[in-house]
Each structure stands twice: as C-alpha cells, then as structure tokens.
Amino acid sequence: MNLAAQDIRHNLGRFTLTALGIGLLLMIVLGMGGIYRGMIEDALVVVDHIGTDLWVVQRGTRGPFAEISRVPANLEHRLRAVPGVASARPFVAHTIQREHRGRPLRITVQGLAWPEDKGEWIQLLAGRRLAQAHYEMIADASLGLGLGEVLRLGKDNYTVVGLTRGMVGSGGDGLAFFTVPDAQAIQFDLPGEATRLERAARRHRAQMQDLGRAQPGLLDRGAGPVSGIPALGPPLVSAVLVALAPGADAGEVVRTLDAWADVSVHSRSDQRDLLVRGLIDKARRQIGLFTVLLVIISTIIMALIIYTLTLDKVHDIALLKLMGARNRMIVGLILQQALLLGAIGYGIAYQLGSWIFPRFPRRVLITGDDLATLAIVVAAISLLASLLGIAKALRVEPNQVLA
C-alpha cells in the first residue's frame, strides 16, 4: 500500500485544486519563455528569409527595423559598381495605421524591389506572388484581410493577391508586402490640399529669387510635381540590400563601404544581433524577471500546501513512528506527494498551454528545450517545496499520538 496515494485520496479536493493552481502558474512560466522566443522569431522573420548578405543603411543608424533609416534610391547604382557585389536592390519598411471596416488596422509595410524581388522567399498560405509593379499586395493573415480584398491606402487601391501566416513585425503588427514605388507612395502620401500648398510655397520662394525673376519658366516648373524638378531626387528608401558574388571577400566589401561617409553597412548576423540585443533586450529582461518571480511563487505555494498536508497528518506520522516506521518512509511519503503535485501541475501546464497559446495575439513559440527545462525546474521546485514538510515530519515525536 502506497501511503502517499492513500493520503492524496483522503485530501483529494485540496490536492486537485492545488495541482490546478500550480499548473496555471507553470503554464504562465512556460508561456513567458515562448513569448520571448516568439518575439525573436517575429523580429528576425524578414532578416532571415529575404536573402541578402549586407544591409546598407543611413550613416550612424542600425537599420530599418530598429530605427528610421533614409538613403537615396540611386545608392543601389553606386553599390553595383563595388567589386564583389553581385546585386543591390532597394528596400522600404515603415508602419501605418488606418481605419478598415470600422476598426483600426496597423500594418508594417515592406517594399520589395519588383521585379528582381517578387516575394519568392515569402511562404504563401494562399494566392500568388506580386505580378505587376503597382496596386498589388501580399498580406499576413493576422491583418484579417481576405484574398482578393481591395484596401485603399493613400490615393490608390491595392488588391490582396497573396496571404501569409506568421509574418509579423517586432511590434506584433502583420506584414504587408508591396513593390517599392507603392510602399513609397503610401509612406509619403499627402492630402491634395497639402500638396497644393507646398507647390504654391515653392513658387513663392522662386519668385523671391533673382533666378526666378530672370527665368519665369522656372516658376511653372516649381509649382508642378516634384518629379519635374531635377534638383529634387526621388523618394528615399529605408535600406539597400546587397548580395555578394560567389567567392567575394565580404570583409573587403564591408571595409570599402565603411569608407563612404553617408552610409553604414551591417551583415546579416550584425542585423540579427542589433535586433535581438537592442530591440528585444528590455523585453527579455522583463520577461525573465517575471518568470523568476513566478517560479518563486510556485515554490512557496507548493511548500505551504505540502506543509499544511503534513500538519493534517501529524497524528498519523506519530502513530507510524510508534509502530516502528523509519524516517525514510516518512520522508518518502512527503517527497512523493510533492513530486506528484509537480508532475500533475506540469501536465496541466502543457495541456492548457497547447490549447491556449495558439490563440494568443502574439506568437508563442514553445520548443522541446523549453519543455525539458521546465521539467527540471518543476523537479527542483518539488524538492525544495518538500523540505519544509519533511522538516516538520522529522520533528514529530511518537508520544504525540496520545495528544
């Protein structure tokens, strides 16, 4: 006859509620680690899959995913002339928020250098890649847009031609992929009145200059579109992506680009480190602190429950000692209860987590290493929690059976 099982059966209600509470706490501990891994996965989804060796960004910045970066679009032509560079293409990234179907819709816009980059690296859930230079988009399913749905952004309508899953930015907003010109049009869109006032201001500034008075034709050009003014360049892009030629010396290419005064260059691994250590570092520390607190709370709760169960059977323990039971049997009784409590809590945490975590708004990524680590933590918690009850049981005297 197993004494631990008999005692649990006697206190089944209390033991079940305690196991459920411990299981919920352990589920949160497991979820905290999964949320952190999910944040890393979300932050690196583009960096890992877009297929580039170097990110060339604005001088002194850390790239479009960490902060604002602006470089001229014609930078790609300079980069193609660098020995060891096989290709260079522009990239645009920014976040917008619009109203759609009466609710706010936040989108992380990604501009692809069509037709060189049609989104072949994007894993599609349904639909197809970008097939034309304008008015098409690939959207993540988390945005709630359907295949073939038309979304108005700025002054243009964009049709959803492809759907992805799990493609979100570091802030949890779903990604939407456009061509670079469309992403720029969305980013720099202005109301018609603002455009008219800007053109009028340019014309007025030209009128106040001698050049404008001597060449009246410049006034008409200054009051027209920006594209008609040679001195004004095309819209800026967030970065230029560089692919190295086979056998090229990456270090030599990086040293060449570092000598340019207007740009900074980051390798793919550098970009990963910048994102993880900079963008996610505070979240990692905060999640880690909460996880430690939850582990401590779980240990305290288990210790108090085991101690309470030990107090309830002080008379029984005294009787066992009076009958000649060894301390090893008493210790085993309490230790088995603690380990069983931890094992049941672990099972509840795993089952509930498997059902709840996929329904979270942010990705929760649970790995086998996380489960193994949690199992070790639960075993350690169970051992520590049993110490208080064991200490109390060992202090029970056989003559207390007469009390």
Query: In the chain, what are the domain boundaries?
Result: 3-42+281-402
pLDDT (0 to 100) of residue 218: 59
pLDDT (0 to 100) of residue 160: 94
Cis before 115 (ω within 30): yes
pLDDT (0 to 100) of residue 1: 40
Give the whole-angstrom CA distance, residue 398 versus residue 233.
93
pLDDT (0 to 100) of residue 251: 87
Identify the sign of the CA torsion 280, 36, 126, 146: negative
Mean pLDDT in consecutive groups of 10 residues from the start of the chain, 403 residues:
57 76 87 84 80 88 81 88 90 88 88 87 89 92 90 90 86 88 85 69 65 58 58 76 88 89 87 76 81 83 77 67 70 79 88 88 84 87 79 69 58
What distance lies between CA 144 and its chain's CA centroid? 19
Question: Shortest CA distance to 349 belongs to which of 20, 18, 15, 37?
Answer: 20
Global model pTM greater than 0.85: no
Q: What SS3 state is found at 294?
A: helix
User: Residues 6 or more apart from 395 whose CB is under 8 A from it?
Assistant: none
Per the document, the length of the chain is 403
What amino acid is encoded at 365 in this protein?
L
Give the whole-angstrom CA distance, residue 125 versus residue 163.
5
What amino acid is encoded at 260 in this protein?
W
Scanning 103-224, the segments in alpha helix (DSSP H) are 180-187, 192-207, 210-214, 217-222
Question: Shortest CA distance to 362 belongs to which of 160, 156, 171, 146?
Answer: 171
pLDDT (0 to 100) of residue 210: 59
